Structure 1
Amino acid sequence: MDNKPANDVAATVDVAYTRLLRHNPKSFLKLILIGFSLVLLPLIIALVDSAVTINQLAEQSRQAVYQATQIAHSSRVLADEIVAMERSARQAMILDDDGLLEGYFHAHDKFAKAAAELAALNLSSAQKQGLLQLQKNELAIFTQVNASRATPAKLQDSVSGFSQLLDVAHTFSTAGYNLIEQEADALQIKAARARKRVVWQLLGLIPFAIILALGFSVVITRPIRQIEQAIRRMGQGQLNHAVRVEGPEDLSKLGDKLDWMRLRLLAVETQKNTFLRHVSHELKTPLTAIREGADLLNDGVLGELTPKQRQVTVILHKNSVQLQRRIEDLLSYSAIQQQQSSLIKSPVLVQSIVDAVLQDQALAVMNKALHIDLNISPHLTVYCDESKIQTVLDNLLSNAIKFSPSAGRITIQAQVVDNRVHLDVIDAGLGIDDADSALLFAPFYQGRRVAQGYTKGTGLGLAIAREYALAHGGDLRVIAREGVGAHFQLILPLNDR
């Protein structure tokens, strides 16, 4: 599959992040506020635009309702005054009483006022034309009535014109109502367009805001992840990686302080390893002399010993050997920490490694009358550093013997799984406390459970064993087991590929 688009996106993000770092705020809080503001900005713009659109629609609706109300009211006034003028004119004509025309002139004034109010409104051209026609016809009737004011009986022609004038008023009123309906339809169309516009804005701006939020979350969390990674490395003892934090100035300074702490820890670790190495070498020389002197006494070179004297020499020899192993553990651990422990690999039979370790531990096995169950193919070969893997297996078997009860059973088995050799050492002893599982391979750590009759060691055996396993590209782990006993599994690559 072609990963070029993904690589281009990653490169674009890195370039954008590098440009952002050049203008980084000095405070992590400012960076958060900037990110928060930029994420909210599109939504605020959409909200303001929606508010403006809704306000415009509300204003147009208000104006339309006001104009519709005015047109309806004035149109009704025009029709009512036309009826009033016609009634007054007919009464004056029938009774031949010009005094009754006062009602006509009063209705005429109201008609003129209502027509003026309508003319002041924002009417369409058709409405304006209809209103002018209505005023013109009314003015013609008014002129006739005013001319015949002295002889009301001659108002027959004028009275007959009111029917036509009323028809024109009704036509004008109907046109007004039609226009109101058109305005309402136009407002509905505008409202639908505004609603659609808001929906599209939300569909466009919400993903954009989410993308901005994700982008700033990367920018904000990257320095935090760098700090977390640096702390985790230092906690795991990986002090050779420089701490570099890219981000706001305060987090960058925190990264500098962490790097200073790393250098201090590295210096302390170097001093500790140097001290262990020097002390171990200083102790090794006099210890060798003590062990050799005990051997000479035990061999009778300086004369025959009494049984009690021979018992003392055996104790001296046994403890000197035990102490020498502790010193060798310290030297091995120091070499591992200084990365001076090189591997000399060669094809080795697993059975030969196990036989060599069993031979070294034969006396301890006999003392506790232990039964050793072997399940190893005689032709199984692994490519490894024989001496170091022998050290690993010796440590595992030594612990199994130490914690196994008398006449107990220890199982050593090996099998190939996925081109890797799994070498298991299983005992029936006290087992491993749950609280010890996480720290079992930590240097100098000693478990809560102690075997009777044994002195606590340095706590380096399992730590060195696992380092040797990891150096081979394998691992050493504890397999959870129900009931009593412990189960350790050494994993090694079958070959050096």
Structure 2
Amino acid sequence: MYAMGFSIYRKLAIWFVFISLLSLGLATAIGIPLIGTVVVTILLSLVIAGILARSISAPISELVHTAGAIADGDLTKRVDARRDDEIGELAVAFNRMADVLEENTDAIEEKTVELKRVNAELKELDQLKSEFISIASHELRTPLTTLRGYLELALDGTLGEFTELQTSKLKIMNRNTDRLIGLITDLLNLSDIQSGQLHIVKENSSLIYLVDEAVRLIKPLADSRGHEIVVNVPDNIILSCDLARIAYALRHLLDDSVRFTTEPGTIEITAEYQVGDVHIRVSDTGIGIPESELENIFIPFYELKGSMQHTTGTSGLGLSIVKGIVEAHGGMIWVESEIGAGTVFHIVLPKE
């Protein structure tokens, strides 16, 4: 290794000694004075130096050209590695690196082809799943809606008198029917979002109207748990939005805040104009969400580890639907949270 490493320098030294001796011999033979000997030595040195420089620069130029070809995608290119010096050693190392790069690239291409095939299969399965959910949900919603209608008629006395026990059972059936219809509606909304077919019909509305309506629906649950809902939304904020869908988003965020605040606490909703947009915050003093979970909470059916998600009676679809609704309006949604301190959901919607 070290013997090869100094071969170029050894060659230069040998050539210098050779030129010096040659010059001295020529000068002695033809009677040239010392100054002439020096001049001859310099001229011969320049000629030999040029030859040596070319012998060094040519393989380096080849190396640069080959490296450029490999960078452009031609992984079959190699350099001449037959020299027995540092340049040859560099060429061997370069070719070895190119061999490894070509092997790794081939392996990556094979994996990429396989991943594309698997991804195509998964997309097809996901499409079939979405179609099944959509068809099944449509087929279930009609009979469930009819069932709910008859249950309501029974509960309001239209179908006659029922005993106290019968009425209690009818109320349980009605609540569960409402829950199933809500789940089916969520599934249909999610299917529309995932297929890019969520229909948005915009109208101008005061934001406080939508907030007050959401609070009115959630307040009984909040009161039953000893929570306070605080509203700090100016009367002058006007939104151009799909009223029903934004109302759903607000209602769901408030509902989650109430359900995930285990002790009597505070849920607050605030809003303000922000450079042509409206920034809405829904905050609580609840249990909080681990930082490692924050990026997953908008995934359909995702269940927080160690949470009480399974006890809240929710479908696990709400936040993914809220995100789809917000993004369909050209807005953004994100969350900040601290364990034991609470959670803040941020929604930014364009005013127009």
TM-score exceeds 0.5: yes
Instruction: Give the corresponding residue for 1:344.
Output: 201
CA deviations 1:268-302 (Å, max 9, x no partner) are: 11110011112212322332233223322221233
- Is it true that 1:404 corresponds to 2:258 in the alignment? no
What is the letter of the counterpart of residue 63 of structure 1?
L
8 Å Cα contact 1:369/1:408 also seen in 2: yes
Instruction: Give the corresponding residue for 1:300.
Output: 157
Other structure's SS at 2:348 match: strand
Instruction: Give the corresponding residue for 1:335.
Output: 192
What is the letter of the counterpart of residue 284 of structure 1?
R
- Is it true that 1:63 corresponds to 2:29 in the alignment? no
Shift of 1:310: 2.6
From 298, 307, 314, the equivalent of 1:450 is 307
The correspondence of residues 9-408 of structure 1 with structure 2, limited to 5 A, is: 57-65=16-24, 71=28, 123-124=29-30, 127=31, 178-179=33-34, 181-188=35-42, 191=45, 213=67, 216-217=70-71, 219=73, 256-408=113-265
Task: Pick the structure with more helix per residue.
Answer: 1
8 Å Cα contact 1:478/1:488 also seen in 2: yes
Instruction: Give the corresponding residue for 2:336.
Output: 479
8 Å Cα contact 1:402/1:454 also seen in 2: no
8 Å Cα contact 1:430/1:449 also seen in 2: no
C-alpha change, 1:52 and 1:460, in structure 2 (3 Å) is: same
C-alpha change, 1:482 and 1:449, in structure 2 (3 Å) is: closer
Task: Pick the structure with more strand per residue.
Answer: 2
* Distance in 1 (alpha carbons) for counterparts of 2:64 and 2:111: 30
Shift of 1:428: 0.9
- Is it true that 1:494 corresponds to 2:334 in the alignment? no
Show structure 1 runs of 5+ residues with no match: 1-47, 72-122, 128-175, 222-247
C-alpha change, 1:51 and 1:420, in structure 2 (3 Å) is: farther
CA deviations 1:443-494 (Å, max 9, x no partner) are: 2111124349934533211111111212222111112447511111111112
Instruction: Give the corresponding residue for 2:279.
Output: 422
* Distance in 2 (alpha carbons) for counterparts of 1:482 and 1:439: 16
What is the letter of the counterpart of residue 287 of structure 2?
L
C-alpha change, 1:264 and 1:49, in structure 2 (3 Å) is: same
8 Å Cα contact 2:241/2:329 also seen in 1: yes
What is the letter of the counterpart of residue 469 of structure 1?
V
C-alpha change, 1:186 and 1:217, in structure 2 (3 Å) is: same
Other structure's SS at 1:344 match: coil
Range with greater deviation from structure 2 (312-321 or 438-447): 312-321
8 Å Cα contact 1:433/1:449 also seen in 2: no
Q: How many residues align?
A: 318
Shift of 1:422: 1.2
Shift of 1:327: 1.1
* Distance in 1 (alpha carbons) for counterparts of 2:313 and 2:71: 51
8 Å Cα contact 2:240/2:351 also seen in 1: yes
Other structure's SS at 1:479 match: strand
- Is it true that 1:466 corresponds to 2:323 in the alignment? yes
C-alpha change, 1:249 and 1:304, in structure 2 (3 Å) is: same
What is the letter of the counterpart of residue 61 of structure 1?
S
C-alpha change, 1:252 and 1:433, in structure 2 (3 Å) is: closer
8 Å Cα contact 1:432/1:449 also seen in 2: no
Other structure's SS at 1:414 match: strand
* Distance in 2 (alpha carbons) for counterparts of 1:397 and 1:211: 64
* Distance in 2 (alpha carbons) for counterparts of 1:381 and 1:284: 34
C-alpha change, 1:484 and 1:211, in structure 2 (3 Å) is: farther
Percentage of matched positions with identical amino acids? 26
Show structure 2 runs of 5+ residues with no match: 1-6, 76-104
- Is it true that 1:435 corresponds to 2:289 in the alignment? no
8 Å Cα contact 1:50/1:198 also seen in 2: no
8 Å Cα contact 1:402/1:451 also seen in 2: no
Shift of 1:424: 0.6
Other structure's SS at 2:73 match: helix
C-alpha change, 1:411 and 1:195, in structure 2 (3 Å) is: farther
What is the letter of the counterpart of residue 325 of structure 2?
Y
What is the letter of the counterpart of residue 184 of structure 1?
V
RMSD value, Cα: 3.7
What is the letter of the counterpart of residue 59 of structure 1?
F
